Structure formats: C-alpha cells, structure tokens
Structure 1
Amino acid sequence: MALSWKLVIDSNNAPALADFWAGALDYEVEDPSTLIERLLAAGHVGEEAIIEHHGRKIFRGYAAIRHPEDPFDETSGIGRGRRLLFQDVPEEKSGKNRLHIDVHSEPGGLDALVSRLEGLGATRVREVDQGPAGHWWVMLDPEGNEFCAA
C-alpha cells in the first residue's frame, strides 16, 4: 500500500511563502481557522500560538497549501492529498537545496509561466537549453529556494 506524504519546506515567513507557492501552483492556502477557534475555546492553545493572515487565524510559524481538487478535512482545512507545508525555522538558508520543485508550463508557454512567476516574486537565475532534451529556467522563490520552470 502506498504511503501518504507532504513536502515540508523550512521558511522565514511561512504565510508569505505559502501565498507565493499557492499562486505559483494554483493551489489553495489551507484555512485552519475553524480548528483554531475550537482549540482556543477549549483552552488547548493560547493566543500566543496564533496570528492573523489575510483576515484568517493561522498557527504561528506554519502555513500549508493543497491541490484544489484533492480531498481535505472540513474542520482543520488540512489537505489529504498533494500538499506543501511551510514551517518557520530560526536559521537562514545556507546552501543549495537538495530537493526542488519543477513547475511545468503548457506546451509553448514557458515565457508566460516565467513572467507570471516573476510577478509573484520569483527571480530568474539562469536559463538551461539542452535542445531536444529540454529547456527550462532555474529560479528562486521569494526566500531564495531554488526551483525550475519548464
């Protein structure tokens, strides 16, 4: 039986990075506000563990995105399919990623994809053209994490 998974990405500003990647992938930012209200009312978490982002309560230092067509828990907002979780860590990024995301365009749509990603806050690093084997851009997200647009 195949296992479930989520990709966890260290960050300096989890909500902002979740917003970027939700826009880049056309995913949805998870909304845990119903769960948070229940946890606050029951005294299971304190106000210090919660912040507000775009008018919704979220857990301090965490934000996640999910594929819009995948199932999710109605109470917690947590996706049960393709999902990225961003968690704040105290240290800065210190080297090249050992794992990265490739974002694929529609055929012939690489220029439009790269422009859209730049509009969301990504930066072009270098173009790679290997002829028939492939053509892509190495890019950085707003926190400097490498990814490819192909």
Structure 2
Amino acid sequence: FSCPEDFKLPSLFHHRWLEVQVANLTSPQRWVQYLRLLRESIWPGGVLPKFPRPARTREQKVATEKQALQSLVGVLPDFVVEILGVNRCQLSWGLVLESLQQPLINRHLIFCLGDIILEFLDLSASAEESATTTSASDTPGNPKRMGVSP
C-alpha cells in the first residue's frame, strides 16, 4: 500500500502540529498554571474552606458536561473533525468524560500524574543524594557525627 504524494505532506504537517500542541500543553509554564488552578480549586484564596461546597444539581452536572464536551471538541483541529465528523468526536470525548467518572480510573490517573510531576521535578535524585549524605553521617565512626574535624 502506498499513499499518494499529496497525502503525505498534510500528514507530516499535522504530525508536527500535534507535536507542537503536546509540547505546549506539557511545558513548565503550563504545569505552573495547572498547579495554580488545582491549588485555587482546593484552597480558594489560600484558605481551606470550612464547609464543603453544596452538592450540584443534576441540571448543573448536565450543563457542565455539555460545556466540557464542546470545549474538548473545539480543541481538535478542523481536519480531525472533518474526517471523523462532529458526532464521532463528541462520542469519543463523551467516552473519555464518562471514564473519568470512575473512581478507580481517577485514582490511577492521579498517581500517574504524580509520578510524571515527580519525574519532571527530578526529586528522586535529590532524595538519593540526601539519603546517601544521611547514611554516611549516621555511621558510628564518622568524625562528623562525633563532632570531630577530620
């Protein structure tokens, strides 16, 4: 199977577009925005609320779901919507939103995102250096532990 030459060029362009979009969404500046948004949603104004928010009504939930679906379909490039059609795009994003309603999936997703953030911040190297320094200073015959200069 071979693709026509005029088909290869747009796919390379779209591949590059996707790379740029993913790089933009995962840039350090975006992570700062995501973390600030998360912090503000948990601690509005920097203070933990005394009382939980009132439960949302079914109508509010449906309206939020529709708004999220429209926003997610709007993120897709026009050529994807043209190829798949609006209904299939909405169905696909609907399945994504539905899967995010599952507590087990959400928990797994949070753990994976936490791993990615920790890897991004490279805290593991700092922890290893700290553990090495701590274990060396805890050695019984260590002059630093005994308060003696080497």
TM-score band by shorter chain is under 0.3
Q: Identify which of structures 1 and 2 has the higher relative contact order when contacts are C-alpha pairs closer than 8 Å and 6+ apart.
A: 1
Higher strand share: 1
Give TM-score scaled by structure 1 length: 0.22
Higher helix share: 2
Give TM-score scaled by structure 2 length: 0.22
Is the radius of gyration larger for structure 1 or structure 2?
A: 2
